[in-house]
């Protein structure tokens, strides 16, 4: 795989903050389903605590990426589904523990009325590209 190219501010587009507008990469595509704050036993981690839920979600993403032979360095796109946009700082802090600011993927954040269960505050899916 070639090193992903991140373009945070294409000509004529307002500069990105906390994400890259465009990421290009060549290799094997990996899609990770939206991850919730569930531990390996299927128990909710961090009820009512967006920071704890975000940390668990990113740990689950890491484990899924590892199972596919990928790392956070290979992630080209993250999508955040949140029940409240005020949770974004907690999500960004959890992301920062895994992805440095100079390697930010393309991202989307969507506020939703509800997730699969009322105790979940966020869900995150990932797309990665790794060497074939």
pLDDT digits (tens, 9 = 90+) for 28-58: 999 999 999 999 999 999 999 999 999 999 9
Average pLDDT, stretch 95-101?
96
- For helices 88-96 and 50-67, what crossing angle results, to 10°? 40
Compute the half-sphere exposure of residue 30: CA atoms within 13 Å on the CB side of its CA. 25
* Residue 2, C-beta contacts closer than 8 angstroms, at least 6 positions apart: 25, 26, 27
CA-based nearest residue to 76, from 123, 111, 126, 125: 126
Q: Is the pLDDT of residue 60 over 70?
A: yes
Q: Residue with structure tokens 């290979």?
A: 74
User: pLDDT value at position 2?
Assistant: 61
User: pLDDT value at position 16?
Assistant: 83
- The answer to whether the beta carbons of residues 115 and 18 sit under 8 Å apart is no
pLDDT digits (tens, 9 = 90+) for 106-127: 999 999 999 999 999 999 999 9
* Residue 110, C-beta contacts closer than 8 angstroms, at least 6 positions apart: 79, 80, 81, 82
Q: Enter the pTM of the model.
A: 0.91
- Locate the domains of the chain by residue range: 26-130
pLDDT digits (tens, 9 = 90+) for 4-36: 888 888 889 998 888 888 888 899 999 999 999
Fold of 26-130: 60s Ribosomal Protein L30; Chain: A; (3.30.1330)
């Amino acid at each position: 795989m070639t090193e992903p190219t991140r373009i945070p501010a294409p000509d004529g587009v307002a500069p990105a903050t906390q994400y890259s507008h465009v990421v290009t990469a060549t290799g094997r595509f990996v899609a990770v389903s939206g991850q919730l704050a569930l531990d390996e036993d299927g128990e909710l981690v961090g009820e009512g605590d967006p920071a704890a839920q975000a940390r668990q979600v990113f740990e689950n993403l890491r484990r899924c990426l590892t199972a596919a032979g990928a790392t956070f360095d290979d992630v080209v796109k993250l999508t955040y589904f949140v029940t409240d946009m005020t949770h974004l700082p907690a999500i960004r802090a959890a992301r920062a523990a895994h992805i440095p600011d100079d390697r930010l993927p393309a991202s989307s954040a969507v506020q939703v009325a509800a997730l699969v269960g009322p105790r979940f505050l966020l869900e995150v899916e990932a797309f990665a590209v790794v060497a074939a």
